[in-house]
Chains A and B, each alone.
Chain A
């Protein structure tokens, strides 16, 4: 019962925040000089004022701002996100086409970060203040400070241009009629460099976080008890210390969706990865307001959904957390 009430409360909160986000995004995009009608007219080279006025009436841009806002809210809720005029396709369709590529990239980057970060962090904590810890900590500091594009460009130079091991752009270089397993291997090869580029920063974060969390957990009673019971060292480290130290990692991973989406703009642009990040970038440059709005909105929904999911997961992982 308590859980249900909690879920409902959090859902209500998320809906409220989403409402504010929609209003803010609407206002932000209406700060722009000129409107959609101007852009479309500019594209089709038709500066005839009568045509622009007619277009404006069709799009409802001649109505007062509050009315436009209400209409916008209605369209958002009914999932009518309009037409992306720069690409001549429905916003929904464009987003749906590009979302899987970004999801794949984000999941593999965060997967890499969690696995590598947890491993490195544990190793550093178990060897605290010795040379291995020093090396890992310095590496983490460096990864943390390196701009993503620099990582990406160095990777391209080393692995694509010099060694020619991996492709430097795109998501596949095979025709669609190739066997499925070949295409999977091909996509995986294309995925390596973007994943490393996007993930390295997060590897640094998780390494530092895991090291700190482990150092906090290791001296605790239950770890000492487990050790004195004669359990194998890896069992102690993994079951008794690691599980507790993982809690902050879960929270962190959830909070990172929004920064990953931002980072994917640079990575996808650099590697020509056909995802949401590059779509957003193209939309912004072409002043495609409906498409920009759609991508921003979808990203916000993603962020809210994941943070809700993390909160719920957290209550399962840590029974000490009270449901408020």
Chain B
């Protein structure tokens, strides 16, 4: 643990990523404090350019709503969607991967063909279809992103479990009479986690990207403001004011960058080798 912390502190990517992410988290926390009335209220003249009005440093949109208020409140929603989708994908992926890797045989074959099948459909296309069928909402967006993300986790966990299944300490646990469920949870899972942790930070990043892509196409939750929603709304006015798209777009880019850097740093420190 000590060495891990030291290795993380030495990794430039990890430190840079953590600092950027702390900034985004601070934005998310500040939103309700600085703008308790929420992001939807009209506060001034429409289409004020960033810098033109010191009270609204990032300008206003076509309906006179403060872009900074949207950005701060949106941080919370975007992070929440990213984290929730990743958690759900991790849950499903861990379950499928662990069962397939531990049991092997026909169970493994069946689960892996299912995984193949889900991965065969272009992920973003599948997400669009799911969100539209269930109607765009935070729940359906999280569900759709989880649906297209779990196969990656399942594959990773399966590979780790197949390796660990033959390990001495697992055989020892089996000889001691430990139940399979207990072996999986107490012996194998902790050892299979490092690559999963690394991929989790990258998955949060891609979930934020997918959400913004959906919102860009008009498939965001109409009741909350995420960065994607802001991009989606600004899209129709972007020739009149490019900042409407570029400001939230940069926020997305920054958090995705932060999470990727974090993933890179963790990858080096935990010494895992992830494909890609």
Contacts and interface: CB of A to CB of B under 8 A. Distances in A.
Interface of A: 13, 16-18, 20-21, 24-25, 28-29, 31-32, 141-142, 144-150, 153-154, 157, 161, 205, 209, 252, 258-259, 261-263, 265-266, 269, 280-281, 284-285, 287, 292, 295-296, 299-300, 303-304
B120 A28 contact: no
A32 B133 contact: yes
B169 interface: no
Contacts of A145: 205, 253-254, 256-257, 260
Given A205-B276, A258-B123, A153 B132 contact: no
B156 to A, nearest CB: 15
Interface of B: 113-114, 116-130, 132-134, 205, 209, 212-213, 216-217, 231, 235, 238-239, 242, 245-246, 249-250, 252-254, 256-257, 260-261, 276
B133 A209 contact: no
Given A142-B257, A303-B121, 9 more contacts: A21-B121, A24-B118, A145-B254, A147-B252, A150-B246, A157-B239, A258-B122, A262-B123, A296-B126
Interface of A, helix, strand, loop or mixed by DSSP:
helix
Nearest to B242: A157
A28 B133 contact: yes
Contacts of B209: 147
Q: When A and B form their complex, which 7 residue pairs have the shortest distance between CB atoms, in order from nearest?
A: A262-B124, A150-B249, A20-B117, A145-B257, A145-B256, A261-B122, A258-B122
A110 to B, nearest CB: 14
B129 A141 contact: no
A149 B122 contact: no
B249 A149 contact: yes
Contacts of A262: 122-125, 127
B17 to A, nearest CB: 10
Contacts of A281: 128, 217
Contacts of A209: 276
B140 to A, nearest CB: 11
A303 B133 CA distance: 23
B253 A147 contact: yes
A1 B125 CA distance: 39
5 contacts: A17-B113, A21-B121, A141-B261, A157-B238, A266-B217
A146 B121 CA distance: 24
A268 to B, nearest CB: 11
B125 A147 contact: no
A154 B253 CA distance: 13
Nearest to B117: A20
A141 B213 contact: no
Nearest to B114: A20
A24 B130 CA distance: 12
Nearest to A277: B125
Interface of B, helix, strand, loop or mixed by DSSP:
helix
A280 B216 contact: no
A57 B123 CA distance: 34
- Best-surrounded residue of A16, A25, A266, A295 (most CB of chain B within 10 A): A266
A231 B217 CA distance: 53
A150 B245 contact: yes
B121 A149 contact: no
Given A16-B113, A269-B217, A303-B120, A28 B130 contact: yes
A259 B133 contact: no
- Best-surrounded residue of A13, A24, A150, A266 (most CB of chain B within 10 A): A150
B260 A299 contact: no
Contacts of A17: 113, 116-117, 120
Nearest to A21: B117
A141 B253 CA distance: 10
B250 to A, nearest CB: 8
Given A141-B261, A144-B260, A209-B276, A153 B123 contact: no
B120 A300 contact: yes
A18 B114 CA distance: 10
B120 A149 contact: no
Contacts of B246: 150, 153-154
Contact of B125 (A144, A148, A261): A261
Contacts of B245: 149-150, 153
Contacts of A304: 120
Contacts of B252: 147, 150
Contacts of A292: 129
A299 B122 contact: yes
A284 to B, nearest CB: 5
A11 B136 CA distance: 38
A297 to B, nearest CB: 9
A292 to B, nearest CB: 6
A265 B254 CA distance: 23
Nearest to B124: A262
A284 B231 CA distance: 21
Given A147-B249, A148-B213, A31 B261 contact: no
A266 B120 contact: no
Nearest to A23: B117
A148 B123 CA distance: 15
A157 B205 CA distance: 26
Given A17-B117, A153-B249, A259 B257 contact: no
B123 A252 contact: no
Contacts of B113: 13, 16-17, 20
Contact of B124 (A20, A146, A259): A259
A124 to B, nearest CB: 15
